[in-house]
Structure 1
């Protein structure tokens, strides 16, 4: 690694070891969204029980994104010192503790646990693209699509079952949010064999500066930030937008499930499109434009909730896979992928963090949903523009 190339343990791993690693990575990916997407359908109950304003309630989605922005830049250096396997194992423990703390029926526990969850997820967000680039460099598109599908699929289930669980079990919404500790503990157990990977030798530790001076890196960062802003606004506020148009709470939760299910299905076809295209500019622009159509539809005909859930899922699912794939496809090696991933996810999620709060504030100030949805139209239009740059080329990061 001192030469600037990343050496993969994959060379010394058996076929069964590779299979276990893939399954472990997928289970880790399954933990990166449900603790967040299960909040939206329950937000009205949380607001009512804890007497929260819409802007304060939006912090339940914004706080993890702030944690992403704060933690992401330091992940490559920590991974170089401790090894990505150990760092990811520690992050899973932090995530599990956060879910457990949030189960406690108190406002301070709810917000404190959310911060811990965000910190744990931030490490996974940065390391997964880097590990895929390092261990499976010829299958980046396939494995990125697979882990995005798992991540989105479990997130969709979390949205769909949140309200039914809160009604069926003791503890109500507290239990609906806390039950995801089972999945976190499963990931910890499956990841234990990866902890046997030797720690990096001090003379082999090598990192790179984040590519702040690269226009392409900034385009990738902007694409990541804008698509993330859209995703987190949708999973936080779409159920309430639908409820105000006459949809019941349970049906609004399932419409959010539909949005995410369509996104997963769309993500599964992306590897084929990525293989056939010379670069990703056209597909990134088209996917962003589909999201724009979905937001415009919510403004023009909010009663067509089913249609706009599908349209937003089509655009959002494709853009998520593209944003994640760019972190590997635009990097020359695994170390560069880690640096680009840290930059894109720190700044990108900082942009996304403003989304749910701004959306809630605009709703409060304007006493309606048209103004905040128009904000999302502007964001989607900007995403179409940055897609023209983010869709091709290689970032050349500088070394420290």
Structure 2
């Protein structure tokens, strides 16, 4: 994979931006028990707090093509970074309701930024879009791991969970400065041009729904882990810090599979074997962490991380492999991430409701494993070697 200087700068910028698109989600979970004690959050309110950014992420994702059309994809991404930094500052202020408001704003900003980047990758590096998407996903996973692992240490360092949460805005401001200084030149034709294929035509394609539902199911597992894994582990008897580090190790392991899964997917005729392997690793990791004896916690954390990192990387890879050009990639990205993340938001909320109702951890674990089984069925369709393309003004699905 050979890079020009322009491509190399773009990849570095993509990594820095990617680092910012998960700490807002993963930094809350290790502090959730503390927030329930100090801020008086009920299990339901905690569920809402973990669901809110994912829901806003999904609702905001379809706005990305509209912003790209009006501002250009590059400026729209800069605007999303500015909104992210603002939301991260807001959620730490000692004012009524701003914890939820700032969290929602950060989630919406992530939805826009995360939708724009795959289409930019398809435009800037079309020949290696799937492998570069793996690098981008690796940056997302590393950002998530930093958010989970440093959340409590930062709160202890600053002597306040509020300042600890606000400190993540510094990383977003740094990314914004770099992006404004070195972002790629605007394309002659915006990614979201007026002549775009109708979104309704995309919605009529079975392939769109297959990828969207796969994205939603696997993302639901990811955000349940981001939002509730430390709490579930604490219920099993772990200390707060140990639970946070188990989650951090799991997310760190996502880095390796996020980078390696697209390479693995290239070995076969389609992505189905790679998708199923990653989902089985996820299921095994959940079983070891939440059901098996406590001695199996570290293998469980590793397997969970490898499975989730690879599953998410392949989900983003499908957005570029299942479209013939960057314009369609941007549209599919907005639809799939919008619908998928909106569906995914039900996961953390459901876990909060189950815990408030007194559900046993083992029962919750088996429910999650069952949902992974459903996701395997979706992967068998989404992983087939198909591609959406324009033909005589119509949207068609053909073998790639």
Deviation (angstroms), 1:364: 1.9
Q: Is the Cα contact below 8 Å between 1:362 and 1:371 reproduced in 2?
A: no
**Among candidates 19, 22, 29, match of residue 40 of structure 1:** 29
The TM-score with structure 2 as length reference comes to 0.91
Aligned to 2:398: none
Match among 260, 267, 276 for residue 267 of structure 2: 276
Quickly say closer, same or farther: Cα 1:246–1:286, change in 2 above 3 A: same
Q: Which moved more, 1:380-389 or 1:285-294?
A: 285-294
CA separation in 1, counterparts of 2:237 and 2:377?
35
Change (3 A) 1:98 1:271: same
Q: After TM superposition, give the deviation of residue 74 of structure 1 in Å.
A: 2.4
Q: Aligned partners of 1:313, 1:55: CA distance in 2, in Å? A: 27
Q: What aligned pairs does 1:294-309 form with structure 2 within 5 A after superposition?
A: 294-301=285-292, 303=294, 304-309=296-301
Q: Determine if contact 1:81/1:200 at 8 Å carries over to the other structure.
A: no
How far apart in 2 are the matches of 1:329 and 1:201?
Answer: 20
| Matching residue of 2:13 | 24
Distance in 1 separating the partners of 2:58 and 2:47: 17
Does the 8 Å contact 1:62/1:357 carry over to 2?
A: yes
The verdict on how the C-alpha distance between 1:205 and 1:365 changes in structure 2, with shifts beyond 3 A counting, is same
The 3 A distance-change label for structure 1 pair 198 and 313 is: closer
After the TM superposition, which of the residue ranges 307-316 and 254-263 deviates more from structure 2? 307-316
Matched residue SS, 1:208:
coil
Equivalent in the alignment of 1:79:
68
Relative to structure 1, is the Cα distance of residues 204 and 247 closer, same or farther in structure 2, using a 3 angstrom cutoff? Answer: closer
Query: Which residue of structure 2 lines up, in the alignment, with residue 3 of structure 1?
Result: none
8 Å contact from structure 1 (residues 242, 252) kept in 2 = yes
Determine if the alignment matches structure 1 residue 154 to structure 2 residue 154: no
Unaligned runs of 5+ in 1: 1-13
Counterparts in 2 of 1:378 and 1:329: CA distance versus 1, 3 Å? same
CA distance in 2, matches of 1:90, 1:200: 20
CA deviations on 1:78-116 (whole Å, 9 max, x unpaired) are 212321011111111111110111121234111110111
In structure 2, the residue matched to 1:262 is 253
1:53 equivalenced with 2:53 (yes/no): no
Q: CA deviation at 1:367?
A: 4.0
What are structure 2's unaligned runs of at least 5 residues?
396-400
Whole-angstrom distance in 2 between the partners of 1:110 and 1:140? 37
Q: Distance in 1 between matches of 2:190 and 2:29?
A: 44
- Kept in 2, the 8 Å contact 1:298–1:373? The answer is no
C-alpha displacement of 1:69: 2.0
Cα contact 1:82–1:199 (8 A) shared by 2: no
Q: CA deviation at 1:16?
A: 3.0
**Are the structure 2 counterparts of residues 35 and 79 from structure 1 closer, same or farther at C-alpha, using a change threshold of 3 Å?**
same
1:319 aligns to 2:319 (yes or no): no
Q: CA 1:335/1:198 → structure 2, altered by over 3 Å: closer, same or farther?
A: closer
Query: Aligned runs of 1:1-400 on 2, under 5 Å?
Result: 15-170=4-159, 172-192=160-180, 193-194=182-183, 197=186, 205-210=194-199, 211-301=202-292, 303=294, 304-392=296-384, 393-396=386-389
**Does 127-136 or 369-378 show the bigger shift?**
369-378
How much does 1:141 deviate? 2.0
Please say if residues 286 and 304 of structure 2, whose CA atoms lie closer than 8 Å, have aligned partners that are also in contact: yes
Query: What TM-score does the superposition give when structure 1 sets the normalisation length?
Result: 0.91
